[in-house]
Amino acid sequence: MQQVGGEQFGVSISGVREHAFTERRGWREAWRQIKRDRFLYGLAAIPLLYFVIFHYIPMAGIIIAFMDYDPFLGVGAMFDFSNWVGFKHFQNFFNSIFFWNVMRNTLLISIYKLIWAFPIPIVLALLINEVRHNGFKRSVQTISYLPHFFSIVVVAGIVKAMLTTQGGLLNQLVVALGGAPKAFLTDPDLFRSILVTTTVWQSAGWSSIIYLAAMATINPEMYEAATVDGANRFQRMWYITLPSISFAIVITLIFAIGGLLNAGFEQILLLYSPGVYEVADVIDTYVYRAGLLGRQYSFGAAVGLFKSVLALILMIIANQIARRLGQPGLW
């Protein structure tokens, strides 16, 4: 019995030693790979540090949404729980006369942009993919990508220059045709359409890159076989191209739904005016006015936290729906 026990004890010691040796060998191999690819890891460290410093560390500031925070008392005031007020600021937002208006505007503008700005890049990518003349294809791609590199300030300046009542290009055309100049940017009936049109113009070309990259992975033999079977171009796009890039479409759609509450803060802030607040005031612009301009920092943080939680819930729901439909989700 003792001999059997000793053998078992020796086996266990041997197993521990072997496990420790394997673990050390694994660490040495990992360190060897890090040294070999140190420049790649160095490049990866830059965006990682960016997200840690500017996205994760500031999340500690969420705590001020639950207290009456005075920034002039310094960072230490964030951890002074004598100013704790719980869900007071959330209740103030829900009971505000602006709540339903900003929620409605945010959802409407975002849904309009989703309806138009999401499918147009897919259609553009399908059309570019069908072009056989390389010079013309590159020209179209360059022209469509170019607006993405314009600052939103520049884009807003272009829109104002086009639509202003005094010397605006569109109003000059209206006057030349015998009409009267119109203040497009202060018209509540037109403002949302201007936002959507500007977004599509600026983002369609750049967003199509994802779908063009996905199309590049499609096996050309599939198109050849479809052509032999008599399929025309539209049928090849519908039955081969679209199903083959469905994974990219679904993932992009999940991100778009997750960002549904981001109606375009900078764009709206640069283009709107008090005359169109009723149709243009969204959550972000309301937080800007109430939180920064009104110096209600805790209230602004509470509204921003509410928006972030709601966006997370929307993304989770979209991801689950995609997985139930048999498509690859984000996780």
Query: For 167-205, how does the pLDDT look when each residue is reduced to its tens digit (9 = 90+)?
Result: 788 888 888 888 888 888 889 999 999 999 999 999 999
- Angle at CA of residue 205, ends 199 and 211, nearest 5°: 115
Pairwise CA distance, residues 219 & 322, whole Å: 25
- Within 10 angstroms of residue 90's Cβ, the number of other Cβ atoms is 16
- pLDDT for 39 equals 86
Its pTM surpasses 0.75: yes
Q: Which pLDDT tens digits describe the chain residue by residue (331 residues)? A: 444 445 544 445 655 556 555 667 767 787 888 888 888 888 888 889 998 998 888 888 888 889 888 877 777 777 777 788 889 999 999 999 989 999 999 999 999 999 999 999 999 999 999 888 888 889 999 999 999 999 999 999 999 989 888 878 888 888 888 888 888 888 999 999 999 999 999 999 999 999 999 999 999 899 889 989 888 888 999 999 999 998 899 889 888 888 888 888 999 999 988 889 899 999 999 999 888 888 888 998 999 899 989 988 988 888 888 888 777 766 7
Q: What's the pLDDT at 2?
A: 46
pLDDT of residue 9: 44
Which domains does the chain show, CATH number per domain?
96-324 (1.10.3720.10)
Residue type, 21: F
